[in-house]
């Protein structure tokens, strides 16, 4: 193979060193090129308006090969300044021709473009690529954060809607809607009371079993509250206590403030009204302490006479009930008025309600134990059932099937009374503090929804800003890669001319990035 056919391979990283070692360029080239750069900066200030020149002057560092193209363009724009000897009278042309002459001396241009190529390949292009990758990573992080905020928004909104659905309110004016919803409680309790009627056989079965086990009648009743509701229904607590229905019912008003400011004001007024001025008490013209000083060590001045004699001497013990005006109510509080907690129904009164629920659990536990015995070992069952031969008929005739039915009835009533909505409404009615906490919880979820929406907007704006930066930087990268490839080709051609047009390959270049 002839030497002409052997290609010259030069690694771009070693290009400048290769040129200096072969004496194509001098070691002090970077000092001499400063003068040329200054002349280029001055020449650029006076350039004709031309599209190709504008392209050459934008997007990259001006090098020797750009100067060659500028001179070719000036040959057209400055053609009218050419004299008969072929020389141009234009100062622009003279300046750029001078720049080319200085570049070509000692191959300064070749050293400079080699350094530009090395810098672009090793630093500029990788740096811009890393910048784009970083922006894309930030953009992806923002997308993830936006999705997380959207997920949190949906979760908070779902919790809000779920709780509102449990309460049966739209959630627009929460306190007002809750106060309206509480009015449904009597109807709910009435439905539950009707289902409690189905527990009559359960109560009879349980009482029969307990009485047989004790060997006597259980005095207070096994589940008195359930038995009472089965017999009487959901009556007032007054009737449960006294055994007689009241003539009138005065249930305490619903303590729900629709305005938080009014609520705080009421609390302050309640505190102020706690104290009692005993000096103003006057019972039927009786005791009036007036301005009596009751400090430690003080004494009450009763006058000069004997207190005991004065008091006893004025009392006439022979006064009839008619003359005294005292009215004695008949037994059973007939004609009474149900007020306060006694005006609530037994299922609505917190105290009796808790007793009722506890007794339901008691029945459930009993029936579950009986089911366990039915499903247990046959020999044990035979012994257990043989011991109940002297018990009541309902106990003797109990089977697995009817025991399961009784348990189902108890659990249905339990599920009704312990329903989430019923418990919420019960707590709302009997606790103003609970209303405030529940309202705050709902408003907090709405506030979280608004916060998540605002965060999504903020993150979205940042993500779009990153996307715009990527859109701006990417064309610059493509232009730099294109100019670097063109520069690589020009250097390969120039070196090839110096070696009788042998093929030159600059390896490790732009294609390796």
Q: Hey, where are the domains in the chain?
A: 8-123+486-512
What's the rounded mean pLDDT across residues 44-53? Answer: 77
With CA atoms as reference, report the closest residue to 83 among 70, 93, 96. Answer: 93
Find which of 59-63, 76-80, 325-329, 409-413 is predicted with most confidence, using mean pLDDT.
Answer: 409-413
Neighbours of 424 (CB within 10 A): 20
With CA atoms as reference, report the closest residue to 196 among 169, 225, 219, 173. Answer: 225
Provide the 3-class DSSP secondary structure of residue 249.
strand
What's the rounded mean pLDDT across residues 319-337? Answer: 45
Classify residue 142 as exposed, middle or buried by CB count within 10 Å of its CB (0-12, 13-18, 19+).
Answer: buried
Asked if residues 104 and 89 have their Cβ atoms less than 8 Å apart, the reply is no
- Distance, in Å, from the CA atom of 431 to the CA atom of 447, rounded to the nearest integer, reads 24
Strands 504-507 and 8-11: parallel
Classify residue 338 as exposed, middle or buried by CB count within 10 Å of its CB (0-12, 13-18, 19+).
Answer: buried
Asked if residues 507 and 10 have their Cβ atoms less than 8 Å apart, the reply is yes
pLDDT class for 271, splitting at 50, 70, 90? very low
Residues present in the chain in total: 513
Asked if residues 459 and 148 have their Cβ atoms less than 8 Å apart, the reply is no
Task: Dig out the tokens for 392 from the structure.
Answer: 């009541």
| Rounded percentage of the chain residues whose pLDDT exceeds 70 | 76
For 411-457, the pLDDT digits (tens) are: 999 999 999 989 999 998 998 888 888 889 999 999 999 999 999 99
Judged against a pLDDT cut of 80, whether residue 105 lies above it is answered with yes
Per DSSP, 248 falls in state E
- The whole-number pLDDT of residue 304 equals 44
Torsion from C-alpha of 131, 137, 140, 141, nearest 10 degrees = -120
What's the rounded mean pLDDT across residues 211-227? Answer: 76
- Distance, in Å, from the CA atom of 446 to the CA atom of 233, rounded to the nearest integer, reads 41
Q: List 506's β-bridge partners, or say none.
A: 10
| Rounded percentage of the chain residues whose pLDDT exceeds 90 | 43
pTM: 0.61
- Distance, in Å, from the CA atom of 289 to the CA atom of 278, rounded to the nearest integer, reads 7
Asked if residues 63 and 488 have their Cβ atoms less than 8 Å apart, the reply is no
């Amino acid at each position: 193979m002839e030497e002409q056919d052997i290609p010259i391979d030069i690694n771009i990283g070693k290009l400048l060193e290769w040129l200096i070692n072969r004496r194509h360029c001098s070691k002090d080239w970077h000092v001499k090129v400063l003068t040329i750069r200054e002349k280029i900066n001055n020449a650029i200030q006076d350039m004709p308006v031309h599209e190709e020149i504008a392209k050459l002057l934008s997007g990259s560092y001006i090098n020797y090969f750009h100067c060659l193209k500028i001179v070719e363009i000036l040959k057209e724009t400055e053609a009218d300044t050419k004299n008969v000897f072929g020389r141009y009278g234009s100062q622009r042309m003279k300046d750029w021709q001078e720049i080319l002459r200085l570049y070509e001396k000692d191959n300064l241009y070749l050293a400079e473009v080699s350094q530009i190529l090395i810098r672009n390949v090793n630093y500029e292009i990788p740096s811009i690529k890393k910048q784009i990758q970083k922006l894309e990573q930030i953009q992806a992080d923002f997308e993830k954060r936006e999705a997380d905020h959207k997920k949190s928004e949906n979760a908070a909104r779902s919790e809000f809607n779920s709780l509102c659905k449990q309460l049966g309110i739209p959630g627009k004016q929460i306190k007002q809607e809750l106060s309206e919803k509480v009015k449904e409680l009597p109807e709910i309790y009435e439905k539950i009371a009707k289902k409690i009627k189905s527990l009559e056989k359960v109560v009879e079965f349980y009482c029969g079993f307990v009485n047989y086990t004790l060997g006597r009648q259980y005095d207070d009743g096994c589940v008195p509250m359930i038995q009472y509701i089965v017999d009487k229904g959901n009556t007032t607590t007054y009737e449960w206590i006294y055994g007689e229905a009241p003539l009138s019912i005065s249930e305490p008003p619903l303590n729900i403030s629709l305005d938080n400011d009014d609520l705080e004001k009421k609390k302050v007024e309640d505190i102020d009204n706690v104290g009692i001025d005993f000096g103003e008490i006057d019972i039927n013209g009786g005791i009036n302490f007036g301005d009596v000083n009751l400090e430690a060590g003080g004494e009450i001045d009763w006058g000069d006479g004997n207190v005991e004699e004065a008091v006893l001497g004025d009392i006439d013990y022979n006064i009839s009930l008619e003359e005294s005006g005292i009215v004695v109510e008949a037994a059973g509080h007939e004609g009474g008025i149900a007020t306060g907690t006694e005006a609530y129904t037994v299922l609505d009164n917190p105290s009796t309600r808790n007793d009722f629920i506890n007794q339901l659990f008691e029945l459930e536990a009993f029936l579950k134990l009986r089911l366990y015995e039915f499903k247990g070992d046959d020999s044990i069952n035979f012994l257990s059932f043989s011991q109940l031969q002297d018990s009541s008929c309902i106990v003797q005739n109990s089977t697995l099937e009817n025991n399961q039915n009784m348990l189902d009835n108890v659990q249905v009533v339990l599920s009704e009374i312990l329903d989430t909505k019923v418990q919420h409404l019960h707590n709302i009615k009997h606790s103003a503090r609970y209303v405030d906490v529940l309202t705050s919880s709902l408003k907090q979820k709405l506030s979280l929804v608004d916060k998540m929406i605002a965060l999504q907007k903020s993150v979205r704006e940042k993500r779009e800003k990153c996307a715009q930066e990527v859109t701006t930087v990417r064309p610059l990268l493509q232009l730099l890669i294109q100019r670097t490839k063109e520069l690589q080709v020009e250097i390969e051609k120039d070196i090839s001319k110096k070696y009788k047009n042998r093929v030159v390959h600059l390896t490790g270049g732009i294609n390796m990035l």
